[in-house]
Amino acid sequence: MADNFTIEIHCKKYVKAYLEMHCGIPADLRHIPDLLLELRSGLMNKPGHREKAEVMKYTDTVRIIIPPDYFYRHGWEMNKENELDFNRMVEQKIKFFMRQYVALNHALGFPVAVCIREFQEKFGFYEHIWSYESIKKDFYRNGKTVPLSALRLLKEEITKILLDNLSEMRTYSKKLLKGNCNE
């Protein structure tokens, strides 16, 4: 039986964009196994004590494929609490990736603004999906900046490799190599 059972979940725009970019339309979570397990957990745990929680504040919905086994064993609907938990897990995944990307590029010497714009463009989180200001606030609150000593160590290692290669081609003497690498 090749039927695709689906569920529609309320979510933020960037959560929808992430799921559709990585899993297709409708989103097939087999590509991201930990999210598939979270979906199954949400289908299993029907009763919720936060049923008055506002998932309607999420402006978009994403359609997700429910594997037939999950459909027949656990059902085809999630309560509001489980939708919020699923969204939170996807958001944590996206924000962790964003913080790592911005921090790494910032450590290489690029301004944070350039790093954020590049992240938005490379990964499809355009301004109308996830605003620059929102990403910037999150990064400054929760992101980690790499100390400049790490950048200095990286520069020293690159210099050592360069000088070593020049020494092998006899354009730089071994004596000078030892002197420059010990500084």
Domain boundaries, the chain: 5-142, 148-181
Each residue's pLDDT tens digit, 16-43: 999 999 888 898 888 888 888 888 877 7
Each residue's pLDDT tens digit, 124-168: 999 999 999 999 999 999 987 766 666 677 778 888 887 777 666
What is the reported pTM? Answer: 0.73
Three-state secondary structure of the chain: CCCCEEEEEEECHHHHHHHHHHHCCCECHHHCHHHHHHHHHHHHCCCCCCCCCCCCCCCEEEEEEECHHHHHHHCCCCCHHHHHHHHHHHHHHHHHHHHHHHHHHHHCCCCHHHHHHHHHHHHCCCCCCCCHHHHHHHHHHHCCCCCHHHHHHHHHHHHHHHHHHHHHCCCCCHHHHHHHHCC
